[in-house]
Copies of this chain bind each other. A is one copy, B any other.
Amino acid sequence: MSSSLDVVTIGNAIVDVLSRAEEDFLLAQGMAKGSMALIDEARAEALYGAMGPGVEISGGSAANTAAGLASLGGHAAFIGLVRDDTLGTVFAHDIRAAGVAYHTPAASDGPSTARCLILVTADGERTMNTFLGAAQNLTPSHIDAQVIVKAAITYLEGYLWDPPAAKAAFLTAADIAHGAGRQVALTLSDAFCVDRYRAEFLDLIRRGVVDLVFANEAEVKALYETADFDAALIRLRAEAKQAVVTRSEKGALFCANGAVVSVPAIPVSEVVDTTGAGDLFAAGFLFGHARGLDPASALRLGALAAAEVISHVGARPQKNLADMARESGLLR
């Protein structure tokens, strides 16, 4: 059966609150720069009170990827849970306005819509503090089988392993996708996330629950508990059916069946905010992969989308990525 959707992404539905911060502020607040930490509502309120003026922009890793896919002209859907509150309304508006199919009903009770307090330092690096809120109540009942079956690829974020109920939703989606002959992709999301769930992530890869793994250098090293990237990559190549590894300014590579294809990064005049870099790289690669492009072309689309998103504040594209890809000769 042909797929009428390129990709459905499943993840935490989050509104980001971005604020400029000094390195000293991160230190004083005990944050590991560049990481994602889970926080409860009380901590979220205390931190919000201490941080500077903010900008609210819809985020969420897999949701950003879906928005990127739509900007490239792809057919994308997103599954994730918000509350029926103001931020939930904002999240739903923004992802639909981006051209993504989004039909998960908002929760009418329970915790409020998830938010991620993001401190952006002068070097453009982001440090994230996530209050999962309603997103943590995603369950198998929210997985719309009709959407999964229609999508060439079901893409899951590693962060979904944090909310216990969402793990079951994750596995339900993977089962449905494989039952329909589709591919399942997983991003490892964050090195600290890998530290929390290393054994489970390795199990998902080894058992073939995941056909395509996305990771950055730090996550691959965390997965195999080594500081030696090359050693970690050898193990990933041996264990994963297919993998995409992003290396920031060193470019990115794709490996499958022992072969490796790599492409350089696209230079950016000023890195303003790295929030969403990995999410948008995944969007570009997934679009190319779902449309049957060769791996190098798919990687180049990933590099293009990542370069756009790090050149401004916020984790979703502000320019039309399809136009940019056509101007660069990557799409016709």
Contacts and interface: CB of A to CB of B under 8 A. Distances in A.
A326 interface: no
B58 A90 contact: no
Contact of A318 (B20, B49, B97): B20
Stoichiometry, copies per complex:
2
Interface string A97-109: 1100000000000
Nearest to A100: B53
A82 to B, nearest CB: 13
A56 interface: yes
Contact of A55 (B19, B52, B56, B87): B56
B57 A98 contact: no
A175 interface: no
B55 A314 contact: yes
A236 to B, nearest CB: 34
Contacts of A145: none
A67 interface: yes
Contact of A53 (B51, B86, B94): B94
A54 interface: yes
Contacts of A93: 48-49, 53-54
Interface in A79-120: 85-87, 90, 93-95, 97-98
A54 to B, nearest CB: 6
A119 to B, nearest CB: 13
A313 B313 contact: yes
A19 B49 CA distance: 27
A182 interface: no
A20 B71 CA distance: 14
Question: Interface residues of A: mostly helix, strand, loop or mixed?
Answer: mixed
A20 to B, nearest CB: 7
Contacts of A19: 97
Contact of A87 (B49, B52, B53, B86): B86
Contacts of A57: 55-56
Interface string A56-75: 11100000000100000000
Nearest to A88: B86
Nearest to A89: B48
Contacts of A300: none
Contacts of A67: 53
Given A85-B86, A318-B20, A53 B313 contact: no
Given A85-B86, A86-B86, 16 more contacts: A48-B93, A49-B93, A52-B97, A52-B98, A53-B58, A53-B93, A53-B94, A53-B97, A53-B98, A53-B316, A54-B93, A55-B55, A55-B314, A56-B56, A56-B90, A86-B87
Closest 7 CB pairs of A and B: A56-B56, A86-B86, A53-B94, A53-B97, A52-B97, A53-B98, A55-B57
